[in-house]
């Protein structure tokens, strides 16, 4: 592949902690392999140079202001391929916690008597505003999945995030079930692809990769009852990451 034909890659961020880009930076040696295949032309967190001419855009963060909408539309128009990177960009993440309040109220809570200086809209994932070609899930974005998506893009292949719960990867690693330790785990309804990293290191699953396509929330309620937990507790845990679209246990699917 000659230099002229290398795809040009840009990184952008919206409302987020920029931790996903930091994750990508931590690839270190593999970054050298990556730049054999692509030219990175814009990446505010990592370099000074920038360009408005790019083919592939990795976008971190949620859309949470009117100005964000214009900016992501511009990126979408410029890039051939748009990738949402990490939980803020794919599922709204903590940013969307504010959606349960009125926007006036959240502006006042954060900015007090300067609230009128700012504008805000309910936070949403990028796919809620423009079409997204690929997504890398996780908080922070899963590096193995980032590399998988990166390779799929270059090979011109579609990437479908796994539609299986974290339990699958957790079982394959021969972990003891988190519920057997008496802890509440979102693994049974959360999309895998993280290699069950949290549960493998003694934590519970926090649901950062979003829900599987057809989560059985009815089963979740049964399980709560079994372990003496309340619906409020699980809703609280769900809400840390999964607020978009509005979560409703009442509308839970019981089948198929």
Partner 1 sequence: MSICVIEHDELCALVERLIRQWPVMGPRQRKQQPGFYYFDWLRSADELVWDYVTTTLPPKKAFFPPREPFLEFSRPDPAKVRPITDQGPFVLLGVHPCDLAAIEQLDIAYSDNAADGRYLANRARTTAIIGVDCWPDEYCFCTSVGTEQARGPADLFLTPIGRGYLVEVRTPRGQKLLGDTAQLLATDEDEADAAYFRSEKQRRITAQLETTVEQFADILAEGGLTEVWQKVADRCYSCGSCNLVCPTCFCFDINDDINLDLTTGTRIRTWDSCQLPDFALVAGGYNFRRERWERVRHRWHRKFLYLYTQYGQPFCTGCGRCSRACTADINLVEVSNDLIAYAQREKRNV
The residues of the shown chain that bind partner 1, judged by CB under 8 A, are 30, 33-34, 37, 147, 151, 154-155, 163-165, 167-168, 171-177, 179-181, 187-189, 202, 212-216, 218-220, 222-223, 226, 254-256
Query: Which 3 state secondary structure label does DSSP give 165?
Result: strand
C-beta closer to partner 1: residue 50 or 151:
151
Look at phi and psi of residue 18 and say left if phi exceeds 0, alpha if psi is from -120 to 50, else beta. left
Query: Which 3 state secondary structure label does DSSP give 15?
Result: strand
Residue 60 beta carbon to partner 1: minimum distance, rounded to whole angstroms: 21
Q: State how far the Cα of 208 lies from the Cα of 221, in Å rounded to an integer.
A: 20
Residue 136 beta carbon to partner 1: minimum distance, rounded to whole angstroms: 16
- Tokens at residue 251, please? 């509308």
Residue 14 beta carbon to partner 1: minimum distance, rounded to whole angstroms: 28
C-beta closer to partner 1: residue 51 or 218:
218
Q: State how far the Cα of 137 lies from the Cα of 211, in Å rounded to an integer.
A: 11
Q: State how far the Cα of 249 lies from the Cα of 256, in Å rounded to an integer.
A: 16
Query: Which 3 state secondary structure label does DSSP give 229?
Result: coil
Residue 99 beta carbon to partner 1: minimum distance, rounded to whole angstroms: 26
Length of the chain: 256
C-beta closer to partner 1: residue 72 or 85:
85
- Report the candidate in 139, 135, 124, 150 with the shortest Cα–Cα distance to residue 209: 139
Contact 58, 10 (CB under 8 A): yes
C-beta closer to partner 1: residue 180 or 251:
180
Residue 164 beta carbon to partner 1: minimum distance, rounded to whole angstroms: 5
C-beta closer to partner 1: residue 110 or 172:
172
Sort 166 into a burial class: Cβ within 10 Å, 0-12 / 13-18 / 19+: buried
Residue 10 beta carbon to partner 1: minimum distance, rounded to whole angstroms: 20
Sort 187 into a burial class: Cβ within 10 Å, 0-12 / 13-18 / 19+: buried
C-beta closer to partner 1: residue 27 or 103:
27
- Tokens at residue 248, please? 């409703």
Residue 187 beta carbon to partner 1: minimum distance, rounded to whole angstroms: 8
C-beta closer to partner 1: residue 228 or 256:
256
CA quadruple 140, 146, 196, 253: dihedral sign: positive
């Amino acid at each position: 592949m000659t230099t002229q034909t290398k795809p040009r890659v840009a990184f952008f961020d919206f409302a987020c902690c920029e931790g996903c880009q930091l994750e990508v930076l931590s690839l270190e040696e593999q970054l050298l392999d990556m730049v054999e295949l692509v030219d990175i032309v814009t990446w505010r967190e990592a370099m000074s140079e920038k360009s408005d001419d790019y083919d592939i855009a990795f976008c971190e963060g949620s859309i949470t202001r009117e100005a964000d909408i214009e900016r992501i539309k511009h990126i979408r128009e410029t890039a051939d391929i748009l990738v949402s990177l990490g939980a803020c960009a794919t599922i709204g993440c903590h940013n969307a916690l504010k959606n349960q309040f009125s926007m006036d109220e959240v502006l006042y809570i954060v900015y007090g008597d300067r609230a009128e200086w700012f504008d805000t809209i309910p936070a949403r994932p990028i796919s809620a505003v423009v079409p997204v070609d690929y997504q890398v899930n996780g908080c922070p974005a899963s590096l193995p999945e980032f590399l998988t998506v990166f390779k799929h893009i270059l090979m011109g292949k579609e990437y479908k995030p796994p539609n299986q719960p974290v339990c699958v990867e957790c079982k394959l690693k021969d972990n003891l079930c988190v519920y057997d330790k008496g802890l509440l785990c979102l693994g049974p309804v959360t999309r895998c692809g993280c290699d069950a990293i949290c549960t493998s290191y003694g934590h519970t699953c926090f649901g950062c990769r979003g829900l599987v396509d057809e989560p059985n929330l009815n089963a979740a309620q049964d399980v709560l009852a079994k372990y003496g937990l309340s619906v409020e507790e699980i809703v609280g845990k769900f809400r840390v990451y999964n607020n978009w679209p509005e979560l409703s246990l009442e509308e839970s699917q019981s089948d198929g």
